[in-house]
Each structure stands twice: as C-alpha cells, then as structure tokens.
Amino acid sequence: MSVPTEFGSVLEFLDNKSILITGATGFLAKIMIEKILRVQPNIKKLYLLLRANDVKAATQRLHTEILKKDLFKVLKEKEGANFSNLISEKTTLVLGDISMEDLGLKDPEIEQEMLNELDAIVNLAATTSFDERYDVALGLNALGAKYVALFAKKCIKLKVLVHVSTAYVCGEKPGLIPETPYIYGETIKGTTRLDVEIEKKIIEQELNQLHAEGATDRSITLAMKDLGIKRARIFGWPNTYVFTKTLGEMLIGQLKDNLSVVILRPAIITSTYKEPFPGWAEGVRTIDSLAVGYGKGKLTCFLGDLNAIVDVIPGDMVVNSIIVSMAAHAKQLSDTNIYHIGSSVRNPVKNGWLQDYGYRHFTVKPWINKDGTPVKGLEYANTAFCHIFKAKYTDLNRKIKFVMRLIELYSPYLFFKGIFDDTNAENLRIAVKASCNEETEIFCFDPAIIDWDDYFMNTHIPGIVKYVFN
C-alpha cells in the first residue's frame, strides 16, 4: 500500500458527503456520529444502519441508545434549539442486518437512495464478545464484512470503504506485528486451509444435530460458544472474536476488486481522550474488566505479565483515524490499505502501570456498595498466573470463577508479547499535517501526546466509574 503524502482538507472532504455507518448504536459509531455532526454540520447525510423490527423501534433506539447519551451534550449545547432539526436533516435511519445478503435492508427506496448517493461506507457493525456464539460471530464479523463489501461495489459513486477490524487478528504472535493483509485461506498455524463455506456447513451440521437431540436453548448457546473457540484454536487464533474478524478481513480482500478499501486495526479501545469531552465510556472493555474487578472487590491481585506492553488507544483517536483514512483514500485505488491504530510503538503502556493506576485510584476512592459500605479493593500488588488458579480449580468459589473467566478470555492479551508496527499510521499523521496543518488537532490520533498517568488517573478510571459502574 502507499499512504498519500497529502490529500487536502478533511473537513472539505466531509462537506456535502453521504456516509453509511453500520453498527450505529456501537461505541465507536456514536463517537463518530457526534464528531462529524459537530465539526462538519454541512455533511449531506449520515445513514445509520441498525437492527429493528420497524421504523418506530428504530427511532426509539436512536433516541435511547444514541442521542440521550451524555456523549451528545456538547453538540446539544452547541446547536441549542436546532439540535432536533440537525438530527432529522442530517441523519437517516436504515433498518437492516449486515449478516444478511444486501444488508437485510427493509426499505427499497432508502436502499436505492444509498446506491445512488453514498460517498463512503464505514463498517463498524460487529460482535466484540470474545466467546460469542460461533453462528452469531461468523454472521456478523465475517459474512457481514462480505455483504458490506458486495453492497459497496454496487454503489455508483462510492469513493471508499473503511472496515474497522482489530489489531489482534495477529493471534498471539510475538515481536513486531506488520500492517499487512491476510490472504483468504491462510492460517496462523499454516496447516489447514481456511474456508468460510466449510465453516458455515460445520455450524449448520452442529445446529441440526443439537435440534435433533432436543437440546435446550441454553445448551445450544453453550455448544455454539464452545464450537467457536474450538474452530478458532484449530487454525491458531485464541478466540472466536479475533478469528471471525480475520475472516472478515480476508473476505473483503478477496472481493474488493477495484474498490478503495481501508482496513483499520485498533488495539484495545479506551474512553475518550479529549472529544467531545474526556472520559466518556460505554460497556466493560478488555482492561476495564480488571478495573471493575478491583473496584468491586472481586480481584485482589493483578492478572497478567506486569512487564508486558498493553496496547491501548482512546476511542476518539480511533474515530479521528477512521475519518482521516476515509478522506485520504477516497478514490485512490491501490492494494488494501491497512493501519494499526495503537500506542505500543510510540508511547507504550505496561501492565504493571495498570495495576498501579487501579491500586492508587481505588485506595483513595473505593467503590461504594449498594448498602453504602466501601469495597476493599486491591491490597497487594502481586501477579497471578493461570496455573496458580487452575491448580486450585476444585476449590473455586464465585470470586475465583470470575478470575478464571478473565484468564480464559483475556490471558492472550495480558501475556501478549507483540507490539503493533504503525508505520502506515504515522505516515498518515504526517500526511494530515502536510495536507492541512490546522486540522492535525481537530483529527488527532497521535498516541505520543498522551500522558498515561494523567489519562488513567484523571480521565479513564473516573470515566468508567461514572459511565460503566453506575
């Protein structure tokens, strides 16, 4: 791939453009919707794809899951009485499901309008659960990417498709991880060829067998979760999430033809660094599971290699990189353009620091239980490795089961030995400065500027306490 040395103003690119955002109720999508409406109100249209039974249900989701969030308070203050008009004029709800062909679109008029008008598509729809049901994860993360790419190819004036993946498609590889594509069929283990059609048949056979046996819904769910982990590990990936996200990348690469494609691979995404205000968060994310564990008294030690680098990046920086890459690669046909968006090369964070931040915060400001009593948080700064807990498996109580679950899901990341090369991303940052220097701050995604001590102690942990704990 080749990163453009300059590409003009990002704000000018957004002017009068129509963009489809899938997964519109997700964390990054909400930040992106707010950002574009705030910095470029002359956007022509944001088409927001979400799942709903009808327009009424979709409208309710828009208001309860997106617009009522604190995230939009800055935009509401800026627009005042015009806020509702801005939303109605600049956004269109699209009922659909990317795990279905033609995105499962329910309104043929809106579908045709998008085919004629879309300038860009940003695919943010995904299930990010590490142990999602295999049928659900394959449908959303892999086949969903395929159907988005096929829809994009039918759009008359589309300039670029941005697909948001994850840096951890690399599996558990150590060392410097390059910004290179996965070719359809290749696996980490390099033994068995990977074929999404075979995976679909395996799922179908398993479901048919379970139904024939009269399995309960719970049993089917557990079996599908186990199948996903099993299939992922056969090919060398640690969990269903990163395995199916890799498949999604492969399918887009196979189908893109002359489509201008950007694949963005963020590392672990954290609360907002700056915009629209510091510390907005939603849902318990990877490292936040540990902070929540400390705060609620379920953990009294740190799970992970204290000296290992954990790659984190604030959500607003990820969104800025999406917008910039969209502008940079509009109609610039080339190989698939891949960007790692993270901090492990330019401003690394160590697991031990997270331990220290958690200890310091919850020692001074302990989590208060519903009965008004403070929870005794992290008492001793020591490391807990998997085998310690596994050796005592027969004596596990609820607290240890919680720890074991964290180990199972997160140990590939808490003991991760890789760092993500971001040469392409750095070149993109340089190109923004060369193209329109005054926009480098508006669309900043440079991890080097972050003071991690200040960010975690005064922004991120207080943010997850406010928006996730409560």
Active-site positions? 241, 245
432 and 329 in contact (C-beta within 8 Å)? no
What are the angstrom distances between the C-alpha of 351 and each of 116, 302, 304, 356?
A: 48, 9, 7, 9
Dihedral of CA 312/313/314/315: which sign?
Answer: negative
Beta strand 160-164 with 418-420: parallel, antiparallel or unpaired?
Answer: unpaired
Q: Which of 62, 66, 17 is nearest to 41 (CA)?
A: 17
- Other Cβ atoms within 10 Å of 180 Cβ, number: 13
- Could you please report the per-residue DSSP string of 372-395? SPBP-------EE-HHHHHTTGGG
Q: Which of 367, 396, 350 is nearest to 461 (CA)?
A: 367
272 and 316 in contact (C-beta within 8 Å)? yes
What are the angstrom distances between the C-alpha of 315 and each of 97, 267, 301, 322?
A: 24, 10, 27, 11
